[in-house]
Amino acid sequence: MQFTIVHTNLTVFDLDKSLAFYKEALGLKEVRRSEAKDGSYKIVFLTDGTDGGHMLELTWLRDKKTPYELGDNETHIAFRVKEFDEAREKHRAMGVICFENEKMGVYFINDPDDYWLEIIPVRE
C-alpha cells in the first residue's frame, strides 16, 4: 500500500493578502477554488507548477474575527530553490525573513498569518 501526499492546508485570516503573498514570495499559482454557497468559507488550492502534484490549500472562514493563534509555531513547510541567494535577497527586500540559520544554510520566511516557510537551497 502506498500513500501519496496531496496537499497541505493552512487556514488564513485574510485570503487576498495570503494569495498575494504566496504569488509574490514563492511564485505559487491558484489552480482550483471552492466557495460555500452561503459564503461561510473559501478554499483555494495553489501549486508550484511542477509535476509533483502536492498543493497548498488555503482555507478562509468568514466567521473568524481575530487572527489565528499559532502556539510555538514549530510547524513549517519547506520549499527548495536553485536560486537561493536571489530568493533570499527578494525575501529580505519584502521584509519577510523571520529567521536565518547560516550554519545549516537555510532561512525561514513568515506569511501574513505568521506561518513559517523554510527556504532550502538545492544541494548538488
Residue 35: CA count within 13 A, CB half-sphere: 5
CA 23 – CA 44 distance, rounded (Å): 13
pTM of the predicted model as reported, rounded to 2 decimal places: 0.85
Q: Which of 35, 86, 89, 118 is catalytic?
A: 118
Q: Residue 100, Cα to own-chain centre: how many angstroms? A: 17
Q: Active-site residue 118, yes or no?
A: yes
- Please state which CATH class domain 7-121 belongs to: alpha beta
Q: Taking all residues of the chain, what is their mean pLDDT, rounded to a whole number?
A: 92
Q: Does 74 score more than 80 pLDDT?
A: no
| Alpha-carbon separation of residue 61 from 10, 35, 99 (angstroms) | 11, 10, 29
Question: Where do the domains of the chain lie?
Answer: 7-121
Buried b (16+ CB within 10 A) or exposed e, 11-30: bbbebeebbebbeebbebee
Binning pLDDT at 50, 70 and 90, where does residue 1 land? Answer: low
Summarize pLDDT for 36-50 with one digit per residue, the tens: 999 999 999 999 988
Q: DSSP E strands: which ranges in 1-124? A: 7-12, 29-35, 41-47, 55-61, 76-81, 97-101, 106-110, 116-121
